[in-house]
């Protein structure tokens, strides 16, 4: 057998392993069931890829996300390692050929979703393969208490039946003690090797600041740390707005969200990795392949939906070991917003039953029928027909998909897309000649931002309603605008396809998964409350709070988070505050508001220190009502 370090050097150009990697790899090579909990950036994929390369045969990798599978397969293929992923949209004949290649073509890795394990052809071919390892990525998805629980992960036990002698490695960067215990039970591990790397990051300062003017503090931070940064926001529109705001302030930034094309995503990621611009403003879609060691600040302008997701996103800062900052900027409105976004839109079991019944009626499926039938689906029409709140109905459909009742084609999220090809001035000249389009175009412009900069998804039903025209009339006019090169237009008559996984049984169907639904509602409430407790707890070290959430027993204060620093300043005298103010003013003039925001001391103490500096002629007031060091006059 090849030695792991030789494989590491040959394919990854590293001469040593990161903490726990070598021990995990050896456990897998020794044939033991293995659980590996490594923080974001801990190098989880190498832990199963190297053992698979050491042994003869193929490694089956279970992964929840198509994009994640494609990303890892691309990386392996660039190293001339034979790997493939069975993604959606593959025909039966294509699937047949790909699986044959895995059986006879010396492939080393086959990436599949847990849902694929329900297909007979997949199970039959996997049984014929020489499987040397089963790797379960994002293993917390198998636990009902895990972030992003997916019932389909319970299909993994099929692999135990097909290859009872093959060991399994479960990997995750996000698991509480309960989730670890549940995952080991669900995967039927016997006497497993468990590796848990401490989540403690001694170089990462977790900061939480209450700010009525978040943008002002954002600019202050980015000026102070003029190097690579990530800013996380909640919506696609907000990525564009913040990017434009920062650009107007002279920063080099770009935005990133799930609505961009794959090419746009790749180009923007590469430009950021190569330091062609400083700041990436992104939604949580900016997650994979983010292994940039010199990220100085990760700033959340909106509250995350869980401590698990926050910890992963914050953990992208400071991977080079230098001091870095994970900052949450909050204000009194955030608690209301986060509850509206994540709690008030959770569909109840009874609501899901109603949506399921109406969906079956919409497709005219009789009781006991519909299994494996696929139907074209227009979401907006469905909601309008039954007067459903679109957000609640969408979340109900997601629950039906996650619990294996239906399959929702991912094109469901793709609405009509447009982008204006001419300038704002040229557009209004065009409207002077084509006055009949005036209402439609102005309605679109007032409803959506960024239409001149990027292709933007629009809700044609909503626009038609606002403009008081029929949806058909609106679409015909969009086609006209496209033909005249005023806009680009991407439009489909169907929003989605829905496949019924099992026959229609109404209440009986939902009752079978009702416990899971109720448990997931409780979990989401627990996660949001944990986030709110974290941002509002200003007495316990921030690092200790995060570690406690994941069951880490480290008890020392970090000394560098917002709580620890503020606590340290309370014991210092006014001379320390004066030194701090002088240090800030060495970078340029500041008004009192800016000095207070930069200081970790109380506003009263900071103002007293400013007054003493003025009285001692250490600083002066400029004509612009800012403070300046006296010796720089």
DSSP 3-state of 525: helix
Q: Specify the pLDDT at position 24.
A: 94
Taking a C-beta distance cutoff of 8 angstroms, is the pair 558, 586 a contact? no
Average pLDDT over residues 423-429: 88
pLDDT band at 632 (very low <50, low <70, confident <90, very high): low
> One fold for both 4-196 and 204-331?
yes
- Write out the two tokens for 624: 């612009």
- Tell me the CA distances in angstroms from 433 to 317, 426, 440, 614, one per residue in order: 53, 11, 14, 64
Q: Specify the pLDDT at position 293.
A: 87
Homologous superfamily, domain 4-196 = P-loop containing nucleotide triphosphate hydrolases (3.40.50.300)
d(CA 619, CA 628) in angstroms, rounded, equals: 5
Average pLDDT over residues 429-456: 88
Average pLDDT over residues 62-78: 85
Q: What architecture is the 204-331 domain classified under in CATH?
A: 3-Layer(aba) Sandwich (3.40)
pLDDT band at 41 (very low <50, low <70, confident <90, very high): low
Q: Could you report the per-residue pLDDT of 236-268, keeping only the tens digit for each? A: 889 999 999 999 999 999 999 887 877 788 889
Among the CATH numbers 1.10.10.10, 1.10.3720.10, 4.10.140.10, 3.90.180.10, which is that of 342-413+496-525? 1.10.10.10
Average pLDDT over residues 281-304: 87
Average pLDDT over residues 102-111: 93
Average pLDDT over residues 464-487: 86
d(CA 13, CA 190) in angstroms, rounded, equals: 35
pLDDT band at 301 (very low <50, low <70, confident <90, very high): very high
Taking a C-beta distance cutoff of 8 angstroms, is the pair 242, 236 a contact? no
Break the chain into its structural domains and give their ranges. Answer: 4-196, 204-331, 342-413+496-525, 416-490, 572-632
Q: Which fold has domain 572-632?
A: Arc Repressor Mutant, subunit A (1.10.10)
Residue 149 has pLDDT above 80, yes or no: no
Residue 384 has pLDDT above 70, yes or no: yes
Average pLDDT over residues 111-134: 91
């Amino acid at each position: 057998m090849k030695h792991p370090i030789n494989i590491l050097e040959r394919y990854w150009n590293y001469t040593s392993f990161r903490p726990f990697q070598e021990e995990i790899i050896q456990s897998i090579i020794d044939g033991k069931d293995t659980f590996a909990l490594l923080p974001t950036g801990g190098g989880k994929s190498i832990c199963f890829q190297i053992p698979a390369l050491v042994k003869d045969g193929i490694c089956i990798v279970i992964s929840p996300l198509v994009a994640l599978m494609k990303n890892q397969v691309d990386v392996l293929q660039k190293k001339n390692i034979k790997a493939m992923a069975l993604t959606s949209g593959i025909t039966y004949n294509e699937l047949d050929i790909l699986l044959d290649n895995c059986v006879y073509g010396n492939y080393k890795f086959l990436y599949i979703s847990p849902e694929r394990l329900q297909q007979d052809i997949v199970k039959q071919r996997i049984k014929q393969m020489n499987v040397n390892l089963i790797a379960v990525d994002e293993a917390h998805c198998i636990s009902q208490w895990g972030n992003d629980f997916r019932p389909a992960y319970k299909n993994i036990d099929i692999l135990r039946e097909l290859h009872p002698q093959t060991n399994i490695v479960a990997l995750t960067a996000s698991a509480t003690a309960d989730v670890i215990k549940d995952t080991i039970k669900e995967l039927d591990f016997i006497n497993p090797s468990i590796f848990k790397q401490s989540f403690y990051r001694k170089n990462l300062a977790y900061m939480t600041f209450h700010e009525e003017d978040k943008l002002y503090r954002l600019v202050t931070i980015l000026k102070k740390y003029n190097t690579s940064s990530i800013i996380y926001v909640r919506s696609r529109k907000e990525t564009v707005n913040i990017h434009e705001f920062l650009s107007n302030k002279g920063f080099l930034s770009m935005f990133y969200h799930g609505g961009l094309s794959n090419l746009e995503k790749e180009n923007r990621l590469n430009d950021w990795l190569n330091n062609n611009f400083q700041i990436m403003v992104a939604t949580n879609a900016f997650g994979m392949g983010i292994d940039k060691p010199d990220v100085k600040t990760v700033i959340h302008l909106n509250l995350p939906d869980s401590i698990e997701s926050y910890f992963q996103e914050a953990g992208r800062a400071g991977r080079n070991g230098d001091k870095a900052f994970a900052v949450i900027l909050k204000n009194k409105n955030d608690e209301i917003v986060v509850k509206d976004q994540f709690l008030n839109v959770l569909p109840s079991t009874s609501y899901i039953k109603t949506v399921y019944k109406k969906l079956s009626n919409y497709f005219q499926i009789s009781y006991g029928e519909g299994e494996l039938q696929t139907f074209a689906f227009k979401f907006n029409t469905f909601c309008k027909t039954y007067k459903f709140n679109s957000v609640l109905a969408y979340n109900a459909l997601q629950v039906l998909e996650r619990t294996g009742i239906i399959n929702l084609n991912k094109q469901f999220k793709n609405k009509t897309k447009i982008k204006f090809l001419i300038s704002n001035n040229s557009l209004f000249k065009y409207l002077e000649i084509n006055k009949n389009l005036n209402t439609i175009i102005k309605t679109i412009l007032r409803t959506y931002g960024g239409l001149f900069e990027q292709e933007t998804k629009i809700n044609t039903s909503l626009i038609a309603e606002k403009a008081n025209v029929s949806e058909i009339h609106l679409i015909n006019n969009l086609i006209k605008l496209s033909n005249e090169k005023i806009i680009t237009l991407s439009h489909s008559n169907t929003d989605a396809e829905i496949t019924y996984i099992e026959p229609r049984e109404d209440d009986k169907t939902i009752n079978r998964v009702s416990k899971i639904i109720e448990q997931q509602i409780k979990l989401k409430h627990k996660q949001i409350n944990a986030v709110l407790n974290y941002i509002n707890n200003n007495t316990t070290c921030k690092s200790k709070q995060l570690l406690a959430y994941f069951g880490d027993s480290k008890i020392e204060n970090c000394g560098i988070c917002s709580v620890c620093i503020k606590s340290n300043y309370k014991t210092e005298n006014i001379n320390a505050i004066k030194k701090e103010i002088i240090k800030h003013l060495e970078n340029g003039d500041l008004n009192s508001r800016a000095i207070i925001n930069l200081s970790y001391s109380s506003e009263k103490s900071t103002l007293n220190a400013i007054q003493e500096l003025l009285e001692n002629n250490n600083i002066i007031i400029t004509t612009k009502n800012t403070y300046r060091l006296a010796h720089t006059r």
